[in-house]
Structure 1
Amino acid sequence: MTLAAYEHDGPWTDEEYLALGETSQRVELFDGSLHVTPAPTPRHQRISRKLGNLLEAAAEPAGLDLLEAVNVRLRPGRVVIPDLVMARIIDFDEVYVEAADVRLVCEIVAPGNATTDRVLKMHYHAAAGIDWYLLVEQATGVLRLYRRRNRHFVEDSTGKPGDPLTLVDPVRVSVDPADLLP
């Protein structure tokens, strides 16, 4: 991040956030505050790529796109960068995907950032009206799929290594966590 980011005074606007440009760090906007995390580990990236390949193959026939680490605008002042996003066909030249176009988000839980993925982001995505939230536990390989009920997520199904998770909405795909882990 630039020195100007550290000298910024007061809450960040969407425009100021976007003016930071692309960075090597993952920078998200949470209600006017920047949330910065380091680059993901190789384990995280391998899981993301393998899961993304499976989801993308299922998304295309359903008329959806699978995107990796893109800006998702949940509301003004709240821009997150999920690991994977399944969205309706979008404008690929826009700086962010609007929450209304997102059908499913996936977060691969980083050990040092678990509370953000399991609590804060889960709440933010539900409040924005996104229907599906998929959590991948790196340490155990457990997949937990949550469905939105009103403004909250409830667990819909779980998959463990050797016991696949089967999605039927927004796409049809079966994922064995054992195939994702290094």
Structure 2
Amino acid sequence: MTTAIFSDGHALTEEEFLAIGETPERIELFDGSLHVSPGPTPRHQKISLLLATTLIPAADAAGLQVLEAINLRVGTDRIPIPDLVISTEIDLDELVVDASDVRFVCEITSPSNASTDKVLKMHYYADAGIPWYLLIDTKARALHLYRLDGDKYLEEAACEAGDVLRLTEPVAVAIDTAELFPPV
């Protein structure tokens, strides 16, 4: 379950959020409130690792990079932690990556965050102008690829376990769901 936390009844700024420092908890900033969720399941992490391993060679060939679980600035006082992004070359020592450097963002749903990923984060990523959004629905064992059209995402492709999702942008790669989804 994700929890919203406010500090002394006032909205937190990005500066106050970053002053918290590194923590073992997954803390995100959404419009001035902190959202804390439990760590992902091993299944979630396995999917993230397999997806990153699939994307890295294609990203390298395109002069891009794959990053996991970064602080991503998508607006004023909005810093989610997506599961995975494909970005341009950035300073790897910066604490926060700006959305303008991100070409692709991926969220892998967990029981505690599915609605946040499907609604709130999708809206934030579209609003920030990130061209591609991949939503991996672990419960349905499905992939949904969205392309930014104006200020909202349109579904570009979808596939279920056993199918292959082919990306042409921002990298050319085939994602085989038979390899991505570990057996249940």
Q: Report deviation, 1:56.
A: 1.2
1:94 correspondence with 2:115: no
Cα distance in 2, alignment partners of residues 6 and 118 from structure 1:
23
> Counterpart in 1 of 2:54?
54
Q: Is 2:6–2:33's contact at 8 Å kept on the other side of the alignment?
A: no
Identity between Structure 1 and Structure 2 (%): 52
1:103-182 residue pairs with structure 2 within 5 A?
Answer: 103-182=103-182
SS for the counterpart of 2:112 is: helix
Cα distance in 1, alignment partners of residues 77 and 140 from structure 2:
34
Q: Deviations over 1:129-165 (max 9, x none)?
A: 0000001111232111000001100100012222100
Q: Is 2:166–2:174's contact at 8 Å kept on the other side of the alignment?
A: yes
Q: Deviations over 1:36-59 (max 9, x none)?
A: 111000000000000011011211
- Contiguous gaps of at least 5 residues in structure 2: none
SS for the counterpart of 2:12 is: coil
Q: Cα RMSD over matched residues?
A: 1.3
SS for the counterpart of 2:74 is: strand
* Amino acid in structure 1 at the alignment position of 2:35: H
Q: Deviations over 1:102-148 (max 9, x none)?
A: 00000001122111000100000000000000011112321110000
Q: Is 1:141–1:178's contact at 8 Å kept on the other side of the alignment?
A: no
Instruction: Report the TM-score, using the length of structure 1 for normalisation.
Output: 0.94
- Contiguous gaps of at least 5 residues in structure 1: none
Instruction: Report the TM-score, using the length of structure 2 for normalisation.
Output: 0.93
Cα distance in 2, alignment partners of residues 163 and 180 from structure 1:
10
Structure 1's consecutive aligned runs of 4 or more residues displaced over 3 angstroms after TM superposition are: 5-9
Q: How many residues align?
A: 178
Q: Is 2:68–2:85's contact at 8 Å kept on the other side of the alignment?
A: yes
Q: Report deviation, 1:6.
A: 7.1
Cα distance in 1, alignment partners of residues 105 and 83 from structure 2:
8
SS for the counterpart of 1:107 is: strand
Q: Is 2:37–2:112's contact at 8 Å kept on the other side of the alignment?
A: no
Q: Is 1:55–1:66's contact at 8 Å kept on the other side of the alignment?
A: yes
